[in-house]
Amino acid sequence: MNYIGIMSPAFPSEKIPHARYGIGEMVRHRLLDFRGVVFDVDPEFANSDEWYEAIPEAMRPAKDQPFYHLLAENAETSYVAYVSQQNLVADDEGEPIDHPAIGTLFEGFDGQRYKLKPEHRH
């Protein structure tokens, strides 16, 4: 903020919340029955307007928060999900995620998180 308490456009990061979860962490959706492992994080919404508008308005999350790319699973299938920070909680189940792409991005699971393969680190 500048000296009169107004957000300064020179410091846009002041208004963007920090990511609560990191690459390799396991999370669970707060409302829907699925869990996943984080493989990428956007500091704020970075998907299409079409995708965003397809979410029912009553459930539509704010765009100015971190969004997470997940290798996700539910009881029936595995898939890739894009989820807002407000809809995620930590998954303390301690069980690995059953997703076919896990081995392409991660090299191991220590019971709490996945370790990113060296070739995917930057």
The 10s digit of each residue's pLDDT in 4-38 is 444 434 444 456 579 999 999 999 999 999 999 99
Provide the H-helix boundaries in 17-91. Answer: 49-53
Provide the H-helix boundaries in 1-122. Answer: 49-53, 102-105
Nearest residue to 61 via CA among 27, 92, 32: 32
How much is the pTM?
A: 0.84
Read out DSSP for 39-56?
A: EEEESS--S-HHHHHTS-
pLDDT over 80 at 39, yes or no: yes
Where residue 44 falls among pLDDT bands split at 50, 70, 90? very high
Give the architecture (CATH level 2) of 19-120.
Answer: Roll (2.30)
Q: Are 36 and 27 in contact (CB under 8 A)?
A: yes
In this prediction, residue 16 carries a pLDDT of 59
**Using CA atoms, how far apart are residues 40 and 21, in angstroms rounded to an integer?**
10
115 CB neighbour count, 10 Å cutoff: 14
DSSP-assigned beta bridge partners for residue 69: 40, 82
pLDDT in tens, 57-78: 988 999 999 999 999 999 999 9
In this prediction, residue 1 carries a pLDDT of 38
